[in-house]
Structure 1
Amino acid sequence: MQALLHAIAALPLPGDACRIFHGRGGLYPGCEQWTLDAYPPVFVLTSFAPASEAQLAAIGDALRARWRLIAPPGQALNWVFQPRGDALQAHAEGSAAHQARARAHLMAGQVPDPHIVTEGPARYRVHILNGQNHGLFLDMAEGRRWVRDFTADFKAREGRGAQVLNLFAYTCAFSVAALQGGAAHVTNLDMARGALATGQQNHALNGLSGGASFLAHDLFSSWGKVTRGGPYDLVIADPPSYQKGSFVATKDYARLLRRLPDLLAPGGHALLCL
């Protein structure tokens, strides 16, 4: 856990939403269970393995010590802990106190409502106390930057905005980035109507009143509709690795890849994530 504590001791005051510590990337032996994110003005600590009270106390102490050095006058420390994976199972099977912490747990301070964060020129609505996914995946920040740059370069080179297909769109952060870069139109597809509704709010937050459509469909039963909307200059696919009844990467990613030639314009690009 020392690498996480060292990262906390060196962290600057975050302005944009960002990932501060990515233990799951495997660069820090012994810290694979931890991630630490900033959704200003709140820090979110996630553990993918059971976390002891002593570990949480040490992390809380480190956050408080660093906050005293970097915080604006009068601004309290806000942080949330969320168990995931094996940690969530352990909490759910434990005592009543542990069961209460099986969801995101406010450890100190408060969380704004509504909670709006920035990432570069974009604004997004997040919900860090509601469910396992917070509305913006911070480990995909470079993907969104690439999409914004790609669509800007495409418009400068081709003299027109790109046609973009955003599959597994969730809350449509990629769509916001594409339109900010100059895309002509983004088709957002996701099975979850609630996530797409947040995506529409994200477009409004950024003053994007047009240029996007939102389709609440199962991709594998909607190929005709999706294909008719093309061809696309850019296809974005950032699916869940395993979501029963929706997408299982080990069998469904190959089905998706076989469809790419029918979706892409000549010379088109695909951003494929997993």
Structure 2
Amino acid sequence: MQALLDTIAAITTLPTDASRLFHGRGGLSPGCEHLSLDFYPPVWLLTSFQPLAEDELARVGEALAARWAQIAPAPDQPLNWLFQQRDEVRATNRLMAGSVPEPHVVSENGTRFLVHLPHGLNHGLFLDMAEGRRWVRDWAHQHRGGQVLNLFAYTCAFSAVALQGGAATVLNFDMARGPLAIGKRNHDLNDLRHGASYLPHDIFNSWGKITRSGPYDLVIMDPPSYQKGSFVADKDYARLIRRLPDLLAPDGHALLCLNAPRFGPDFLHHLVQTEAPSLTFVERLANPATFADIAPERALKVMVYRQDGGA
């Protein structure tokens, strides 16, 4: 745990955007592989993938309190922090000090998002996807008026930045109504009143609807790596990719995402070569520096492909 405590002690300024400060899962701090520390202003979130003893939690709390006394925006601003103990499918969340705003709105590169730290496994905004959202905003700026399909949309963060960049329309598909409702609120937070649609459907049962609304200039696929009864990457990703040639306009782009340590970039390359050979690989996006990993092939994969038809 010492590497985490040293990181806390070295913080000199507070990030203004939601950010990761310590990424033990990247394997660069031996003995801390189960730990991460994020700041969703004004709340710190400590996450552990294994149980922590009360004395360990106390040490983290003391370290945060000592640093907060030096860097808090105002002398009377309280320290707010939560602890999440989780595995891949469940979590328990515990408020350790202070409180959490309701609603809790954070920013990233000028875009505002609702998050919900005290409840559930995920928080409404995946911090490791920041470079993916930056790429989508830049793509939309360069392809103004583009039509975007956002599959497994969750809380529609990709949709918000696409519309901010200049996309004309975004169709957001997700089988969960709750996250889509938060997605609509995210658009409202950013004064994005037009252009987005929110469709709570099982993607695999909706190809007719999806295809009829195309072709698309950009298709975003960001499925869970494993979700029982919904999506299993090694079985279901191929079913998605084989649809891409019919979904994409000439020169259209696909952003394929996968956060499964057991699959490297070659997994997606092979699927595209096999199921959608008309697509050409463009680049793998770098993950945020704060998510550095000792084995990059295990880290989040965000891959860009282009439908043949031009430069």
Q: Indicate whether the TM-score tops 0.5.
A: yes
Q: What is the DSSP-based 3-state SS (H/G/I as helix, E as strand, rest coil) of the residue aligned with 1:234? A: strand
Equivalent residues in 2 for 1:162-201 (5 A)? 162-201=146-185
Please give the per-residue CA displacement for 1:95-153, whole angstroms capped at 9, x wherever unaligned: xxxxxxx6210000000111111111111111111111111111111111111111112
CA contact (8 A) 1:9 1:62 kept: yes
Q: What is the DSSP-based 3-state SS (H/G/I as helix, E as strand, rest coil) of the residue aligned with 1:80? A: strand
Given residue 74 of structure 1, which amino acid in structure 2 is its aligned partner?
D
Please give the per-residue CA displacement for 1:224-261, whole angstroms capped at 9, x wherever unaligned: 11111111111111111111111111111111111111
Equivalent residues in 2 for 1:134-149 (5 A)? 134-149=123-138
After superposition, the CA RMSD in angstroms is 1.4
Given residue 271 of structure 1, which amino acid in structure 2 is its aligned partner?
L
Query: 2:196: which partner in 1?
Result: 212
Shift of 1:3: 2.1
Q: Using the alignment, how far apart are the partners of 1:54 and 1:223 within structure 2? A: 52
CA contact (8 A) 1:20 1:38 kept: yes
Q: Using the alignment, how far apart are the partners of 1:245 and 1:2 within structure 2? A: 40
- Unmatched tracts of structure 2, length 5 or more: 259-311
Given residue 19 of structure 1, which amino acid in structure 2 is its aligned partner?
R
Q: What is the DSSP-based 3-state SS (H/G/I as helix, E as strand, rest coil) of the residue aligned with 2:229? A: coil
CA contact (8 A) 2:147 2:218 kept: yes
Give the percent of matched residue pairs that are identical in Structure 1 and Structure 2.
69
Q: Using the alignment, how far apart are the partners of 1:48 and 1:166 within structure 2? A: 30
- Unmatched tracts of structure 1, length 5 or more: 89-101, 156-160
CA contact (8 A) 2:18 2:41 kept: yes
CA contact (8 A) 2:89 2:121 kept: no
Equivalent pairs counted in the alignment come to 256
Match of 2:78 among 76, 88, 101: 76
Q: Using the alignment, how far apart are the partners of 1:141 and 1:3 within structure 2? A: 24
Equivalent residues in 2 for 1:38-53 (5 A)? 38-53=39-54
Moved over 3 A (4+): none
Equivalent residues in 2 for 1:234-273 (5 A)? 234-273=218-257
Greater helix share, structure number:
1
Higher RCO (Cα < 8 Å, 6 or more apart):
2
What TM-score do you get using the length of structure 2 for normalisation?
Answer: 0.80
Q: Using the alignment, how far apart are the partners of 1:112 and 1:47 within structure 2? A: 22
